[in-house]
Structure 1
Amino acid sequence: MIDNHELPIGFTMELAQHSDILNRFAALSHEEQERYIDGSREVESRQEMKNYVENMFRG
């Protein structure tokens, strides 16, 4: 499990708004979670983070 201090706050807040996505994220392996977390660190705006989270599991 990922420690909360390792998660960017914007990523955490956006996941909290999307329980379905949060549940899918929680079911991923540690390595897969790290890949999404690393990607979230590249996000520069609130809207971009919203788009990033909403599209995490889209084809």
Structure 2
Amino acid sequence: MDPMRDLPMGFGMALVKNQSAMETFSSMTPEQQQEIISRTHSVQSKEEMQSLVDSIVR
């Protein structure tokens, strides 16, 4: 699986709203990316998804 190609839609949409998070996510190893993507499966709202994305750069 290519994490950058197979992003969950909500995660991808939230990532586009945060350029720093997108750059950080893009520079992660595939294993690190997969760990973040796995965390998206428990997200229940757009706000929660945006919070997850924002946490990538914290």
List, as ranges, runs of 4+ consecutive aligned residues in structure 1 with deviation greater than 2 Å: 1-4
How many residue pairs match? The answer is 57
Identity of aligned residues (%): 28
Q: Could you say which residue in structure 2 is the equivalent of 1:42?
A: 42
In structure 1, stretches of 5+ residues that fail to align are none
Q: Is the 8 A contact 2:20 2:57 kept in 1?
A: no
In structure 2, stretches of 5+ residues that fail to align are none
Higher RCO structure, 1 or 2 (CA under 8 Å, sep 6+): 2
* Secondary structure of the structure 1 residue equivalent to 2:31: helix
Q: TM-score, normalised by structure 2?
A: 0.85
User: In the superposition, relative to structure 1, how do residues 54 and 3 fare at CA in structure 2: closer, same or farther (>3 Å)?
Assistant: closer
Indicate the RMSD between aligned Cα atoms, in angstroms. 1.3
